[in-house]
Amino acid sequence: MQNVLRAIGVLFVTGLSFNVWANNEGSGCELQLEANDRMQFVQKQLMVDSTCETVSILLKHSGKLPVAAMGHNVVVALESDMQGIAADSFKAGVANRFVTPGDKRVIAASDVIGGGESTWVSFATGLLDPAQRYVFFCAAPGHWVMMKGELVMLP
């Protein structure tokens, strides 16, 4: 019985700290995004608080595969620009984060990371027009089909 109680206690504490972590990362100026070896982002939406001057996304790759096999990044752009940016990704190559250097359609593009790695990318919320629809996606060739989500501007 004591062991059961102890286990429940551990679960409770773990759950509690997870909630604190989730709240901090989910609605502040720092957002968490997790990618994996199944070519997926865990989060399908990222909420951007428009009172933040700068938004930072921490991209974590929770898988094990290296960049060459399952490298991911995160790119922020207008929804209407996503397919055009993605179409240029193979030519741009991994050394350019799979985006064409100087591409004005790209609001932010992170480094490309492999399993077990993480990276930050930041952008100014002033670059976003609340009347438009924005997305985040992985620019590795072909990945956007599976790896995309909505960037929601909160008033």
CA distance 55 to 127: 11
Looking at residues 49 to 78 of the shown chain, list those that interact with Cu ion (rule: CB under 5 A).
72
Helix or strand or coil: residue 135? Answer: strand
Closest separation between CB of residue 22 and Cu ion, Å?
Answer: 23
Residues near Cu ion (CB under 5 A), total:
5
Minimum CB separation from Cu ion for residue 75, in Å? 10
Q: Does 140 bind Cu ion (CB under 5 A)?
A: yes
Amino acid identity, position 73: N
Q: Does 143 bind Cu ion (CB under 5 A)?
A: yes
What is the secondary structure of 60-117 as a DSSP string? Answer: EE-S---HHHH-B--EEEEGGGHHHHHHTHHHH-GGGTTS-TT-TT-SEEPPPB-TT-
- Is 138 near Cu ion (CB under 5 A)? yes
Q: Tell me: does residue 99 bind Cu ion (CB under 5 A).
A: no
Binding site for Cu ion (CB under 5 A): 72, 138, 140, 143, 147
